[in-house]
Amino acid sequence: MSLLVVGSIALDSIKTPFGKVDEALGGSAVYFSCAATFFNSARLVGVVGADFPKKYIELLRRRGVDVAGLKIDGGKTFRWKGEYGFDLNTARTIYTHLNVFADFKPEIPAQYRDSDNVFLANIDPSLQLDVLKQVDEPRLIACDTMNYWIENKPKELKKLLKHVDIFFANDKEAREFSGEINLLKAARYIFSCGPKIAIIKKGEHGVLCISKDFIFSYPAYILEDAFDPTGAGDTFAGGFMGYLSKAKRINEAVLRKGCAYGTILASFAVEDFSVNRILKLKDKDIRDRYKKFKMLMHLEG
C-alpha cells in the first residue's frame, strides 16, 4: 500500500563535538522518506529553491523516493544551521531561513491522491489539514508537530487531530499540548482530541507507544558512537510508518514491530551527519541490529 509524506526539505549546516557539515541534505520529509523506503516507496511532497543541488534530487530517486511531488520554486531553499554540545539532546539554533518554505502550500499530485497511508511531517497544522482535503480516503493518517504550533495555533492543531489516527510528539510537546505532567494523562488528552495512538518520543531515552487498549515502551538502541542526532525523530517515523504501510492490518504486534524498526533506523541515522549513514545501509544491517535489539529486550521468568 502506498505511503505519502508531506514536509520540509532543507540544506542543513550542523556542528557537533564530533565534526561539522555545511549545506547537507536535510528536512523532515527527507529523513522520513529515506528511512521508509526500506519497506515501501515513499511519495514525497515538498518545496525547494532553484539553488537546490540536482544531485540531491537524484540521490532521493535512487533511494526509491517518488519525487513527482517535489516543487522547485524560484527562490532559495530552506536552510537551518545548528550546533550541539556534548548533550546531543538539545540543539542551539544559529539561524533558520525559511526562504521558499515560508510560502509552501502543498499541492498533492493527482497520482498521489489515492495514497493509503499519509504522514504529515512538522508543518503548519492548517497546511496539514489542507493536505487531507486533497487525498481520497487513506486508511491511516499520522502527524507530527512542534512546540511552535502548540503555542501559536492550538485551535488549528486540535481541528487537525480530529482526522488523525496516530499523533507523534516528544515528551515536552505532549506535556505542553495536554497541560499534563504525567505522560499517561497527556495521552488520554490526546485521545480526547481524536487520535487513537500516541507515539511519544523521548530522545536518547527511547519511545513510548500508548493506545486506549495497551501501552509499551522501548529504549533507544545503545550505541558507542553518536555523531549527529538531527533528523532522528523523522527517521524513526519513516521506519515506523514504512513498516506499518506494508501491514494488512494495524494491531499491537504490528505497532511493536514498527516501533522497533523505527528505533533501529534512528540509531543508524545518528551515526553520521545528514542521511549519509541511512544511504549506506543494507537490509542485512537492519536485520542484524533488529536481532540484537530483540536480545536487549528479552526477559525471562
pLDDT in tens, 211-263: 999 999 999 988 878 889 999 999 999 999 999 999 999 999 999 999 999 99
Containing 145, the helix (H) or strand (E) segment is none
Question: Quick check: 72 pLDDT over 80?
Answer: yes
CA dihedral 154, 156, 161, 163 (to 10 degrees): 170
Q: Which domain holds residue 266?
A: 3-297
DSSP per-residue codes, 21-63: EEEEEE-HHHHHHHHHTTTS-EEEEEEE-TTS-HHHHHHHHHH
Percentage of the chain exceeding pLDDT 90: 88
Count of domains forming the chain: 1
Bridge partners, residue 13, by sequence:
81
**Cβ–Cβ < 8 Å for 114, 1:** no
All three cell numbers of 76: 532559495
DSSP state of 75: S
- Radius of gyration (Cα) for the chain, nearest Å? 18
Burial level of 122, CB count in 10 A (0-12/13-18/19+)? Answer: buried
For residue 210, give the DSSP letter.
E
* CATH number of the domain that residue 130 is part of: 3.40.1190.20
The model's pLDDT over 103-157, given as tens digits with 9 standing for 90+, comes to: 999 999 999 999 999 999 999 999 999 999 999 999 999 999 999 999 999 999 9
Banded pLDDT at 205 (limits 50, 70, 90):
confident
Tens-digit pLDDT profile for residues 8-40: 999 999 999 999 999 999 999 999 999 999 999
Label residues 273-283 b or e (16+ Cβ within 10 Å = b).
bbbebbeebee
